[in-house]
Amino acid sequence: MYRTHNNGALRAEHINETVTLAGWVQKSRDKGFMIWVDLRDRYGITQLIFDEERTPKAVMDLAKTMGREFVIQVTGKVIERESKNPKMPTGDVELLVEKLEILNEAKTPPFTIEDATDGGEDLRMKYRYLDIRRNPVKEKLIFRHKVSIAVRNYLSEQGFIEVETPYLIKSTPEGARDFVVPSRMNEGQFYALPQSPQTFKQLLMVGGMDKYFQIVKCFRDEDLRADRQPEFTQIDCEMAFVEQEDILNIFEGLTKHLLKEVVGFEIESFPRMTYDEAMAKYGNDKPDIRFGMEFGELNAVAQHKDFKVFNSAELVVGIAVPGGASYTRKEIDKLIDWVKRPQVGALGMVYVKCNEDGSFKSSVDKFYDQEDLAKWAEATGAQPGDLICVLSGETSKTRAQLSALRMELATQLGLRKSDEFAPLWVVDFPLLEWDEETERYHAMHHPFTSPKPGQMELLDTKPGEVKANAYDLVLNGNEIGGGSIRIHDKEIQSKMFDYLGFTKEEAQAQFGFLMDAFQYGAPPHGGLAFGLDRLVAILGGQETIRDFIAFPKNNAGRDVMIDAPATIDAAQLEELNLKVTL
């Protein structure tokens, strides 16, 4: 036994006990005749004291050789601390060291192992094992474990069975790019790593598994944007004999359970909103509803005056910024500059100050009188003291711009509180979305998503208007997950592939096994998948996922710690019948 207690365990009740501890030297203060050391492990910090009057000389001498991050084992008596530290759980006591063994020495770490480190991102990634010693990273990994096990136990109690689906599957050109794995035994052939276990979970439904889940790694070979990883983790779920409502209820339950169990937050309301409503009210299919600032459409009250910019616009839309009437001209100009940045792309911004006395002062007073502006205030819900910001133009672009402004302002105003959680379901997503590049419709969710009952016929006439039995879970302005009711009829699935531009042969080669399966008694089914990395980050009050992943990759898809990927042996390539063509 290397230790009798961990470094978070000792309390006043242990005083006079002889104990053995082990851990890392967090820091030491050497006063010559006395040395204090903070000894750290996963569980906490205990203060050690080496005192030349009470500690053997050899131990005292050895103690003086220790540096930061040395791994040591000490035995001694727990004593009462002279100056107690009420901020530390072990702050009432310290260990008077009698025996010391240095278990391993340590070079000076390349950055300080403290809550606030001096290490830059790159250095921290290269020495990730040292970064994990820091509380902020360590706690995030422990938090992730808590979320995972809470998910598993909740779903298990609800009758879900975790089934492991295979990682070596078949490449399908649909969707994102696959990572492939050359097969040595099947010459010239490749497996693919799953982008999701989608078809397997549907086959489990055909197989009568009824309620399936899995916390599972998925893979996408995409050009990495910030905060995207080539491998990521999904909470993947599927149920048979369900309608959309059943699924929403089950996973609303899971979300509430997690919030309560893991972050101690009780949800008051869990709204549902159609996609169309979310776009109209927030300009966004994943609105952050921790705060208001809902869109007010102003076409009816702002058009057909003499202001040509608005008259020629497809949409005129505004939001009320709480307390914004007090903004200086300079502050407002900064906002206007902000929306005109290329990343946002607005051509300009009209504003209205709603003065405390009930009067209005706008940037378009030339065209609109007080009565007009009062109608704007009504439409945007602006109160005296608020500022109305108005954008105009093509509908989808303008919505996106105003949505960006809404989020920016909320951040500036401190309305996006990390300890508040506002989930909602966005439902009735469009089945298809237009792809500018290929000039055709793509499945918005995936090709297995079922259109709303009776809408299949619209496919040929108004494909963009077909709504799907598809839904997203949104939390604090982030899409946490999404899913759909699936097609379970071979004919409809086959038609859908047709519609999405698959030839019969392609559909059969890639998804024949699924359509075959549908012929042997497929039940109605549906499900969803949550992104675990994102969910954990949001529950942990953070926006970026990287520190919730033990060993993340950088934006070039590299693990800089182990230096992967790397070239492989010529012999390995030969066995795989492959040649690198560079």
Q: Which of residues 352-371 bind its own copies (CB under 8 A)?
A: none
Q: Answer yes or no: is 243 a known binding residue.
A: no
Element (H, E) at 376: helix 370-380
9 is a contact residue toward its own copies (CB under 8 A): no
CA distances from 116 to 111, 119, 136, 489 (A): 10, 9, 9, 56
551 is a contact residue toward its own copies (CB under 8 A): yes
Q: Are strands 93-104 and 44-51 parallel, antiparallel or unpaired?
A: parallel
The alpha carbon dihedral of 149, 150, 156, 162 has a sign of: negative
Residue entry with tokens 């990273």: 137
**Of residues 179-218, those binding its own copies (CB under 8 A):** 179-193, 199-200, 203-204, 206-211, 217
489 is a contact residue toward its own copies (CB under 8 A): yes
Using DSSP's 3-state secondary structure scheme, residue 526 falls into strand
Residue in 88, 458, 500, 576 binding its own copies, rule: CB under 8 A = 576
Q: How far apart are CA 428 and CA 482, in angstroms?
A: 12
175 is a contact residue toward its own copies (CB under 8 A): no
How many CA atoms lie within 13 Å of 261's alpha carbon, on the beta-carbon side?
18
253 is a contact residue toward its own copies (CB under 8 A): no
For residues 71 to 100, the per-residue mask of contacts with its own copies, x marking binding by CB under 8 A and - elsewhere, is x-----------------------------
Residues contacting its own copies: total by CB under 8 A:
127
Q: Which is nearer to its own copies, 218 or 344 (CB)?
A: 218
Q: How far apart are CA 185 and CA 139, in angstroms?
A: 43
148 is a contact residue toward its own copies (CB under 8 A): yes
Q: Answer yes or no: is 3 a known binding residue.
A: no
Closest distance between its own copies and the C-beta of residue 524, in Å? 6
- Beta strand extents in 110-250 (DSSP E only): 161-162, 180-182, 190-192, 211-219, 231-240
Closest distance between its own copies and the C-beta of residue 501, in Å? 16
Q: How far apart are CA 464 and CA 310, in angstroms?
A: 27
Closest distance between its own copies and the C-beta of residue 166, in Å? 5
Residue in 80, 243, 337, 457 binding its own copies, rule: CB under 8 A = 243
Q: Answer yes or no: is 572 a known binding residue.
A: no
The closest alpha carbon to 526, from 468, 458, 456, belongs to 468
Q: Which is nearer to its own copies, 444 or 515 (CB)?
A: 515
Q: Which is nearer to its own copies, 51 or 506 (CB)?
A: 506
Residue in 120, 241, 358, 394 binding its own copies, rule: CB under 8 A = 241
For residue 264, what are the contacts with CB-CB under 8 A and spacing of at least 6?
A: none
520 is a contact residue toward its own copies (CB under 8 A): yes
Q: Which tokens belong to 529?
A: 């998948």
Q: Which stretch binds its own copies (CB under 8 A): 106-114, 407-415, 426-434, 450-458?
A: 106-114
165 touches 146 (CB < 8 A):
no
Q: Answer yes or no: is 533 a known binding residue.
A: yes
547 is a contact residue toward its own copies (CB under 8 A): no
Structure letter (DSSP) for residue 112: -
169 touches 193 (CB < 8 A):
yes
Closest distance between its own copies and the C-beta of residue 332, in Å? 43
For residues 151 to 170, the per-residue mask of contacts with its own copies, x marking binding by CB under 8 A and - elsewhere, is -xx--x----xxxxxxxxxx
**Of residues 25-64, those binding its own copies (CB under 8 A):** 40-43
518 is a contact residue toward its own copies (CB under 8 A): yes
301 touches 379 (CB < 8 A):
yes
**Binding residue ranges for L-aspartate:** 174, 220, 445, 486
